[in-house]
Structure 1
């Protein structure tokens, strides 16, 4: 079993030396996704965490789809926000992507993100 690099034009391309996701067997490891536009690479929303959250979750959604799965295959998410006071607004968007049986999750505050983002999300999925 060898690892497969997952790459899609529907999600933001990495700006550093890493892959959007890596599939090893039935596991998919999703790299961190910020709320950036896949075409321009720029953070969207002018600081609005809800707009950034939607863009980041869309990037995650498109990446897991490129790996052959759906959001339902995600079993663990890690959420990093600039300020924990943003978490309630983030959760409002997050629950629309995981309305039932959400993945296990951790959320924590991180001081700074590349490009001025307010959040970053990564995850692990299990494909059937």
Structure 2
């Protein structure tokens, strides 16, 4: 799990909910190299580590919002996303954006039910 790149909490608990800030594919403040797929895999690993630190799992994720710097990556996003979540299918939105922190190609935020 990488430290936030700004003045915000990686996640906050509100009752039975854990609201996770957007995760990018960074390790120790630097984006992983190799393009979209390795970056996305790191995003998902960072999200899983964040969930684990709060006693949650990927199957507890109820909703994600995915921000893509290039919507041409949408098909590959779906392939890697399915591998990460298995049979679990959280609600999801995918949004094309002009830019992301550190020049990231993808960012994912999540709402998690802990109850």
Misfit runs of 4+, over 4 Å: none
How far off its partner does 1:105 sit? Answer: 0.1
Alignment-derived partner of residue 3 in structure 1? none
- Number of matched residues? 115
Choose between structure 1 and 2: higher strand proportion: 2
Match of 1:41 among 17, 29, 46: 29
Unaligned runs of 5+ in 1: 1-10
Identify which of structures 1 and 2 has the higher relative contact order when contacts are C-alpha pairs closer than 8 Å and 6+ apart.
2
Unaligned runs of 5+ in 2: none
How far off its partner does 1:90 sit? Answer: 1.5
Choose between structure 1 and 2: higher helix proportion: 2
How far off its partner does 1:45 sit? Answer: 2.3
Per the normalisation by structure 1, the TM-score is 0.86
| Greater displacement, 75-84 / 86-95 | 86-95
RMSD: 0.9
